[in-house]
Amino acid sequence: MPRPLRELAQLVARSHEAAYGTTALAERLRDLSHQVAELVHAQDATTRRRELGDVGWALLQLCNELGEDFGAAVEHTVQRLEQRLSGRSIALIGTSANPITNGHLTMGLEILALTDVDEVWYYLVGKHPWGKKLIPGPHRVEMVRRATARYRRLKVCDFEVVHGPQIYASTMETAPILRDHFLPSFPHDTFCWVMGSDVAQSFSEWQDAAWLAENLRVFVIHRLGFAFDKAGSLLADPRHLYLNEDIVTSNISSTLVRTRGRDYDHNKLLALVPDVVWDYLVEHQLLDPDILKA
């Protein structure tokens, strides 16, 4: 009868001490890599069984040395796979990204660091709801794509840029667009909404704000000078988070980038945008005031 996993791990630890004494962790990892290679090349059932036993032994000893519970680690992997099969958990950062800045990247990376979402999407508006002039959508999308390329879990979402001409004929309000157009396009995924504490001040005034608070989890990131009264808001439910402690935040804005960058002096933007964004802005002369469109 097979031994319980914990008892088997203890047996492995004793056999390792008796046979090898103390070995460096790097040596254990090299041994494991070699044993997996041997398993790959096994030609018959007897050899496969022996090599499989060696790999299992090495994995259990690695867990012993790291102080990890092998069974718990495997269970965690199973849980992650089950979550993936039931859809991703995605945080949406609604933004014009006009252009994307280091502040936008910081916000996305902090959401990944402090919450349990799988990915963060920069949800780009096609047109600004208040008529603010924007760099043309395809350019904004491409700059976000380049800025996030090095971060596997940060992505650009061009849904409104692509479908805006049809959507805006009926509404330009965030909640109705999410409810009637965006969420039905991604039925297997779960979405959260991200906003700064400055924007959260007026959240209750949004059209269908109550629907958004009921149907999406909301993360509010603290912005300097804008304290948010979560307890007295539509976002009082504990599932909504106000990230206001041990949070890295930024006052960098797209407006500041465009203002400083009018004369195309790279030194003025070194702290504000990634180099790949700077290169794109220069290549397409996107800091010229007349490039903006309503």
User: What does each C-alpha distance from 268 to 160, 176, 291 come to in angstroms?
Assistant: 31, 39, 20
Give me the chain's average pLDDT, please: 90
Which of residues 50 and 200 earns the better pLDDT score?
200
- Around Cβ 124, how many Cβ atoms within 10 Å? 26
pLDDT of 19 higher than 70: yes
| Phi-psi label, residue 117: left if phi above 0, alpha if psi -120 to 50, beta otherwise | beta
pLDDT of 1 higher than 60: no
Residue 61's H or E segment, with its range, is helix 45-66
pLDDT of residue 117: 96
pLDDT of 142 higher than 90: yes
pLDDT of residue 85: 58
pLDDT of 82 higher than 70: no
Has this prediction a pTM greater than 0.75? Answer: no
- Domains of the chain with CATH codes: 5-79 (1.10.287.1080), 87-291 (3.40.50.620)
